[in-house]
Structure 1
Amino acid sequence: MKKANIPHFGLYGESSWINNPEFFHIEDIESRSSNLGWKINPHRHTQLFQILILKSGEAKVQLDEQQHKLQGAWAIIVPAGVVHGFRFAPDTDGRVISIAEPLVEEAYQEKAANFIKPLLSQPCYINFNGHRNLFSELWPLIQQLENESARIREGRALMSEYLIKAILLLLHRQRISGVTSISNKAEGSHAQHLKELIEQNYRQHWSSDQYAQALGTSTSRLNRVSKRAFNQSILDLAHDRLLIEAKRSLIYTARSVEEISYDLGFKDPGYFSRFFKRSAGIPPGKFRALSNQPSI
């Protein structure tokens, strides 16, 4: 498979899906992957947000150009548009939940927004090994969602929506406990809102001052929060996000370096090339050539 032609799917291997904002789908990993040699080739979903819950077994996971090997109990968050592929060890036990983005985005208008929105912007891994008590709370919700999916009865869509939100809230709790040590609640909120603003504005090349103004705080304070939460300055975070998108485009599209530079908000392709070489260590053209190798 040429990486310039990474396919878009509704569900993996299916060329279409019902364009329904209430759509969700849940299946066990074995049902789709066992007949494919336990391998799911790199692909992406345009309008589907996915959660993979691994209960046991082993998986080699590719999210964009990054690869990780996971064992035991994990949750894998795959936002829409992120290229992903998997190779599972035989008899890996787990579930894949596919959710139409509008179904999750409705939560933006609710009290759940601060908990759910952070999961939608970036792919991530959530480790439940050593946290079996919380996983024992999560797994029955997964099983109940399976039951709702398998039966047609009154209130099915509403019950499924509540269960999906409960699952996302539990994933948020575990993610926060695993990736941040911020003790101040206000600082934690600023850190999360900063990540969301970067996701919305990184193509506009906002300055540190613009992010601080949008959050109603000073640049120096927001930089301190960013370094405590992410061990990076505001600009480092924004530049990392630009670099990730640049790498995605170089690996998974056939667009020229010039086209990619303009798409990412650079007015001068030469400056984009210098930015990329400074950040990645090699020019964009060489990165593309080196990345043209088999995926997991």
Structure 2
Amino acid sequence: MQKHKTDIPHFGLYGESSWINDSEFFHIEDIESRSGGLGWKINPHRHAQLFQILIVKSGEVKVQLDDQQQKLQGAWAIIVPAGVVHGFRFAPDTDGRVITIAEPLLEDAYKEKAAKYIQPLLSKAYYIDFNGQRSMLSELWPLIQQLEGEFSYIREGRALMSEYLIKAILLLLHRQQMNGEQSTTNKTETSQAHQLKELIENHYREHWTSHQYADALGTSTSRLNRLSKAAFNQSVLDLIHGRMLLEAKRSLIYTARSVEEISYDLGFKDPGYFSRFFKRFTGIPPGKFRALTNLPTI
């Protein structure tokens, strides 16, 4: 008999029951120390207020980020913002590190010169390929090793040094990310585009309109749509619907909540309207989507 799925597991660190309530918290460990004793598998889960970076130096990993799966070989960075459902199956002897950072520690960076580099990096889950840029990985790895040293020993200025190292690591990841992307907007527009993504994250359950987002950003709806299409190749409404659909899929795949409960959680007053919304974008009703989906077995 199949075990019913409950709410998506939230962890401080995977497999640990204690909750982390430290605004300056960070943690670093090698992949084997957490996954080796678990058959090199980390089941799907998510973290509240914890941002993770997996740096895979060599080996192979099957990754699940929300409803998407990917097989990666060689050298990669995997960016996992708070709230994203993620799971991993590593090939034995995969070499890499997992860095976990409390979101409040990163929020301080938003007020600094580093914000324009770091903030975009934290906005969504994605992969950064180092296989064609081993020289960049050679720059990154000593910083990771130094961060491990700061984590292992209590020394004067440890917290400050760790914060500087984390920012340096994020900046190098940003550089590598930009190597594979061609920016189509200027710096002001890029910042505003990511502010839009943050606002959608905070208000999509309230069903804000495009006009409300434009007002919040002090711009017009037409200009915000042009900015959104340039930065994300989607209109503001597309982004809103996409975020709502993502959360609906998460709940259908990873929880046992009814379609009605999910619809109310997402701010729909009528479950029937939610079902029509879901079917319009996926082609199937939510109940059938749940029955057909079997993603947790990566």
Query: With structure 2 as the length reference, what TM-score do the two structures score?
Result: 0.91
Of 221-230 and 105-114, the range deviating more from structure 2: 105-114
Q: Which of 44, 57, 74 matches 2:76? A: 74
Letter in 1 for 2:140: L
- 1:146 correspondence with 2:148: yes
Match of 1:163 in 2: 165
The answer on whether the counterparts of 1:121 and 1:199 sit within 8 Å (CA) in structure 2 is no
- C-alpha separation in 2, matches of 1:62 and 1:79: 13
Identity %: 79
Structure 1 gap ranges (5+): none
- C-alpha separation in 1, matches of 2:11 and 2:292: 26
- C-alpha separation in 2, matches of 1:2 and 1:167: 40
The answer on whether the counterparts of 2:147 and 2:165 sit within 8 Å (CA) in structure 1 is yes
Letter in 1 for 2:205: R
- C-alpha separation in 2, matches of 1:37 and 1:255: 29
The answer on whether the counterparts of 2:77 and 2:130 sit within 8 Å (CA) in structure 1 is yes
The answer on whether the counterparts of 1:118 and 1:196 sit within 8 Å (CA) in structure 2 is no
Give CA-to-partner distance per residue, 1:115-164, whole Å, 9 cap, x none.
33334442222222223333222221111101111112111111111111
Q: Which of 80, 84, 92 matches 2:86? A: 84
| Equivalences, count | 296
Letter in 2 for 1:164: I
Q: Which of 223, 228, 231 matches 2:230? A: 228
Give the secondary structure class of the aligned counterpart of 1:288: helix
- C-alpha separation in 1, matches of 2:45 and 2:217: 36
The answer on whether the counterparts of 2:4 and 2:256 sit within 8 Å (CA) in structure 1 is no
Match of 2:28 in 1: 26
The answer on whether the counterparts of 1:65 and 1:248 sit within 8 Å (CA) in structure 2 is yes
Give the secondary structure class of the aligned counterpart of 1:40: strand
- C-alpha separation in 2, matches of 1:7 and 1:204: 24
- C-alpha separation in 1, matches of 2:223 and 2:38: 51
Give the secondary structure class of the aligned counterpart of 1:4: coil
1:90-101 map, 5 Å? 90-101=92-103
Match of 1:46 in 2: 48
Give CA-to-partner distance per residue, 1:200-229, whole Å, 9 cap, x none.
221222222222232233322222222222
Letter in 1 for 2:210: S
Compute the RMSD of aligned alpha carbons: 2.1
Give the secondary structure class of the aligned counterpart of 2:27: strand
- C-alpha separation in 2, matches of 1:173 and 1:218: 32
Of 180-189 and 280-289, the range deviating more from structure 2: 180-189
1:51 to 1:223, Cα distance in 2 relative to 1, 3 A? same
1:181 to 1:107, Cα distance in 2 relative to 1, 3 A? closer
Give the secondary structure class of the aligned counterpart of 2:56: strand
The answer on whether the counterparts of 1:4 and 1:251 sit within 8 Å (CA) in structure 2 is no
1:284 to 1:179, Cα distance in 2 relative to 1, 3 A? farther
